[in-house]
């Protein structure tokens, strides 16, 4: 039996870019969302300690399923194996879409 594929989901989240690894991705019944399940984390016995990886592991600890808004997803790749979870500050001017625009002033 072939192993389940692993997907890298790159998400823009509050000024950071997150790399997440999951085994299942679905179109959600909630309009405008993607469901991701079965988070994959690197071997916990690794010697290298990365605060971003620990932050994301704590964030998704005990999470069975997560609903990600379509406008926050930057990219989804099918990969051969999991890599390190990453959370890096976004230096670019990425804006979520749709973005609320101020209403024009009312005419008098």
Q: Where in the chain are the domains?
A: 6-89
Nearest in space to 20 (alpha carbons), one of 62, 74, 100: 74
pLDDT given at position 15: 77
Name the token pair of 49.
């300690």
99, 102, 103, 104: CA torsion to nearest 10: -130
pLDDT given at position 96: 55
pLDDT for residue 11 is more than 80: yes
**Span 48-62, mean pLDDT?**
73
Distance CA 78, CA 67 (A): 19
Asked if residue 57 lies in contact with residue 41, where contact means CB atoms within 8 angstroms, the answer is yes
């Amino acid at each position: 039996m072939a192993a389940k594929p692993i997907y890298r989901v790159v998400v823009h989240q509050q000024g950071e870019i997150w790399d997440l690894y999951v085994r299942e991705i679905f179109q959600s019944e909630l309009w405008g969302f993607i469901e991701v399940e079965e988070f994959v984390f690197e071997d916990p016995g690794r010697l290298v300690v990365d605060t971003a990886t620990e932050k994301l592991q704590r964030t998704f600890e005990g999470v069975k399923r997560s609903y990600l808004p379509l406008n926050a997803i930057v990219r989804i790749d099918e990969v051969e194996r999991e890599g390190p979870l990453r959370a890096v500050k976004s230096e670019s001017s990425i804006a979520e879409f749709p973005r609320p625009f101020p209403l024009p002033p009312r005419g008098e």
